[in-house]
Structures are given as C-alpha cells and as structure tokens.
Structure 1
Amino acid sequence: MSDFIAEADREILARHGLDSFDALWALRLEAVDEPNTGRGGWSSVFRLDLGDTAYFLKRQSNFLSRSPLRPFGEPTFAREFRNIRRYQALGVPALEAAFFGTRQVDGERRAILVSRALDGWCELVGWLDGWDELSVRSRSAILLAVAGLARRLHEAGQLHGCFYPKHVFLREAGAGFEACLIDLEKTRPLLLGWRDRVKDLEALVRRADAWGEAEMRELLAAYLERPRDSEEVNDWLARLVHRRRNKERNQ
C-alpha cells in the first residue's frame, strides 16, 4: 500500500527508522492527552521529537466518519489529510502533513497522520487570555492577521467549519503576525455564499470573549477591506450578531 511522505521529511524519518507505517504504529510514546474514544474506536495524539525537528503523530483505530460518498466510513484522518493537501494547493496557510497512511488488519481499520509541530506559534486563545495587556499595535496586528487568514480561506472557496480561536495559530513576523489553521476535518467548499462565511466568522468571535464591538468592527473592516464605519461592515456586523443570538436562543 502506498503511503504519503513529504519530501521535506523523508530523510529525517528514514534516518530514525520511522519512514514506514509499521514503524510509526509500533513506536512507544506518551499521549499528549486522553484518547478520543468516540465513533466506535479510538484516536490518540503524541509528540514526536526527532533532533531539531518536532512532529505530532496521530494514530487511530476504527475511528470513522461517514458521508454520502463514503457510506461505509473512512478514518477521519483520511479526510483531514485530503484537506491539508487541498489547503496547500490553494495557498491557504495551515498545518503541514509529513506522513499519512492507512491499513486494514484483521477487520481493524488503522490510520496514521504525522504533521509538523507548530513550535514558535501560539493559539489565538493564548493571545486572547492576555488581550488587555497587549499594546494597541499588537491587537490591531493580530486582528489584521486573523482577518487576512479568513479572507484567504474564503476567497479559496473553502469553509473551515470549526473556525475557533483554538484552531487559529499565530506567530510574530516583522512588525506584524502570520496566521495559519489546524483541525481541517470539517472543511468543505463554500456552498451558501455569505451565509457560510458568516458561519465561520461568527464561530470565531463568539468564542473570542476578549473582543467587543470595536474588535469585531476592526476584524470585519480588514476582512472586507472596507472602512470600519462603512455600510458593508455595518451589514456584516448585524449578520454576526443575528447568528449569535439565534445560536444562544437554541442552546
């Protein structure tokens, strides 16, 4: 069976004897959190340090998702890997896959996904926790980076589906910030126009407790590339507020 190995990681994995599915499956590591045991199987995440290069190794067994195209299910990592490759092809900043493979062993469906660790990056959640201590310049730079990431994603015709602060990573770059996305399993093409775009943005701002209307306006102004007091920003802000109220009403 053919496995995917990124060219940039092939030599590193081979040097440590980890350029095969069996070697990665057998490797003993301590999980970074409790295994996910939903979907009738399990899925675990491990940190893998190989010299100066760090990865996250994810393994799962019988942890499947189903869709009209795949009614009998497939490992959730398979969908995430396809989306990682799609983001790469579309030029949307996201985590990078180093290895992917699947196996069927005595009726057990196994999958492995290895991605580069985002060392040097920080979840947006971390920046939000210290939001009040940040300078005005830093706050604006973060909002600009997040808005630019969302615009780039949507201009590529993609809905993230889980556009939460914990899935947006940032790192300082020059006078500003770079941003990228993780957790791409629920990504799908934009099908409902502005409604899908609002869905992503509202999911973000609803969980960004440190942001008030001023931050939302600044985010939308950068996303839409319009002045903060423009009719377009006013309209989108109203859409976000309306969706949030509907979500809260239905909880």
Structure 2
Amino acid sequence: MTDFIAAEDRAILVANHLESFDALWGIELEAVDEPNTERGGFSSVYRLDLGESAFYLKRQSNHLTRSLFHPFGEPTFAREFRNIQRYAALGIPALQAAFFAERKLPGEYRAVLLTRALDGWSDLDSFLPAWRECSESQRSAILQACGKLARQLHGAGQLHGCFYPKHIFLRETASGFDAQLIDLEKTRPLLFGRRDRIKDLEPLLRRACVWSEVEVNILLMAYLGGEANLDSWSAHLVARRCNKDAR
C-alpha cells in the first residue's frame, strides 16, 4: 500500500518535518496508555499536538491480523485505515486519517496510523455515569443521535463490530448532538440483514444499562425511521441479550 497523507494535513506535517514514516516512527512522545501486546508484537497510542492541530499517533510492530486475503498477517492498522477510507466514501461519520504507512523489515512488520484528535467531542461512555443529571432534552437528543448514527452505518451496508458507548463520540450543537464512530478495525459488510443489525445494536444497549425502556425506544425509533415494528425489534434485542447472559 502506498503511503497516505491527507491533503488537509500535508502542510502542517511538512512544516513540522513529520510527513514521512521514519519521522513519525522516530518522534519521541509519551504514550497515552499501556502498549497492547496481545498479538505478540506491540501497539501504542500517543497524542501529537502541532500548534492548533492535534492528532493521535498509533505505532505498531508485529501486531498482525490474518484473513483469507492476508493469510500471513498484516498490521491491524492497515485494516482500520481501509475501513476509515470506506466510511468516508460511504458518508458514515467517523474518525479521519491524516497519515498511514507500513514497512516490512527483516523479522518485523511496522505500521503507523495518524488520525485527527476529536477535541470538542466526548464518548458516550462519559455521559452514562451521570445520565440522570442530564436534562431530558439532552438525553433525548443523545439517544436520537446514536440511533441515527446506527441507521447511517447499517444503511450503508456496514456492521461496526464494536458498537459500544466508548466508540461513539458526541458533540453538542445548537440543534442537538452530532455523533461519529471510532475503532473501525472489526468493521465488515452487513451480510445477514436484521440478524447482523441486532448483533451490532445489542452490545450498545447492554452496556448502556442506565437507559430506561422508554429511552431505548427513543433510540430505536430514530434508528428505524419509517419502520413501525418497534415491538418486534425490542423482542429480538431482548432475546439476544438473554442468550448472551446465559452463556
């Protein structure tokens, strides 16, 4: 894959001599959390502030995922970058890439992914502990934003695979809330109709257990749009949750 630099971010990266793989790999930054070493290599995330522009720099080595198309493995960031590009092409609100590149070295497979920071946005997870302290209009607007985001996602034929509160980012506006997604690594095409749609939605509702039945229905109505069979969808979601709890 050819190195990618977003046109909007090229000037700021060039001005800071960070327009290359080697420069972004070598810059010394403090990691925002502990490295992920699940796959045998490592994957780390850093914040990169360049004047008024802010980014998150992800670097990984031998942190690979395998598939039919990549039986010997490829960096998980390669898959996430392709999904970021796919979401952009399909008009699904999601994080944006500023730079991506990968390098194969003797005994090592490296990748760098730079994404724009979502400053001014907050994940849904941060709203849930004090959910009842939000006004009724705020709660309703958040639920509608999440439902509309899911409708855009599934309407474009994509299953997120990790549709969790921590991966939904919200920003309050004059008319309600905007919503977008992060962590696109597990995205795949929506292949099995309502079965896949239920599979994506149920983990969100399970983790947002502070929502009342009425509030869940607000989200579902925003998600379903013109579809009227709310009771059927609710029943399928409850059934999947019961099956998950029984395992």
1:113-156 CA-to-partner distances (Å, cap 9, x unmatched) read: 00000000000011112210111111110011000000000000
How much does 1:212 deviate? 2.0
In structure 1, runs of 5+ residues without a counterpart are: none
Listed as ranges, the matches of 1:100-179 within 5 Å are 100-179=100-179
Query: Following the alignment from structure 1 to structure 2, what is the Cα–Cα distance between the partners of residues 151 and 102?
Result: 33
Query: Following the alignment from structure 1 to structure 2, what is the Cα–Cα distance between the partners of residues 13 and 85?
Result: 20
User: 1:49 corresponds to which residue?
Assistant: 49
1:82-121 CA-to-partner distances (Å, cap 9, x unmatched) read: 0000000000000000000000122210000000000000
How much does 1:226 deviate? 4.9
User: 2:91 corresponds to which residue?
Assistant: 91
Please report the TM-score for the alignment, with normalisation by the length of structure 2: 0.98
Asked whether the 8 Å contact 1:17–1:23 carries over to 2, the reply is: yes
Give percent identity, aligned residues only: 64
User: 1:248 corresponds to which residue?
Assistant: 245
Query: Following the alignment from structure 1 to structure 2, what is the Cα–Cα distance between the partners of residues 34 and 177?
Result: 31
How much does 1:203 deviate? 1.0
Matched residue type, 1:95? L
Q: What SS does the corresponding residue of 2:163 show, helix, strand or coil? A: coil
Asked whether the 8 Å contact 1:226–1:233 carries over to 2, the reply is: no
Say whether 1:13 aligns with 2:13. Answer: yes
1:50-76 CA-to-partner distances (Å, cap 9, x unmatched) read: 000000000000000001121111000
Query: Following the alignment from structure 2 to structure 1, what is the Cα–Cα distance between the partners of residues 193 and 202?
Result: 15
Asked whether the 8 Å contact 1:45–1:58 carries over to 2, the reply is: yes
Query: Following the alignment from structure 1 to structure 2, what is the Cα–Cα distance between the partners of residues 240 and 2?
Result: 42
Q: What SS does the corresponding residue of 1:70 show, helix, strand or coil? A: coil
Query: Following the alignment from structure 1 to structure 2, what is the Cα–Cα distance between the partners of residues 121 and 94?
Result: 12
Q: What SS does the corresponding residue of 1:71 show, helix, strand or coil? A: coil
User: 1:25 corresponds to which residue?
Assistant: 25
User: 2:61 corresponds to which residue?
Assistant: 61
Asked whether the 8 Å contact 1:60–1:112 carries over to 2, the reply is: yes
Q: What SS does the corresponding residue of 2:103 show, helix, strand or coil? A: strand
Q: Indicate the RMSD between aligned Cα atoms, in angstroms.
A: 1.1
Query: Following the alignment from structure 1 to structure 2, what is the Cα–Cα distance between the partners of residues 177 and 22?
Result: 39
Q: What SS does the corresponding residue of 1:130 show, helix, strand or coil? A: helix
Matched residue type, 2:240? R
Matched residue type, 1:21? F
How much does 1:181 deviate? 0.1
Query: Following the alignment from structure 1 to structure 2, what is the Cα–Cα distance between the partners of residues 166 and 35?
Result: 18
User: 2:213 corresponds to which residue?
Assistant: 213
Q: What SS does the corresponding residue of 2:202 show, helix, strand or coil? A: helix
Matched residue type, 1:203? P
User: 1:79 corresponds to which residue?
Assistant: 79
1:162-195 CA-to-partner distances (Å, cap 9, x unmatched) read: 0000000000111200000000000000011001
Say whether 1:234 aligns with 2:246. Answer: no
Asked whether the 8 Å contact 1:147–1:220 carries over to 2, the reply is: yes
Listed as ranges, the matches of 1:189-204 within 5 Å are 189-204=189-204
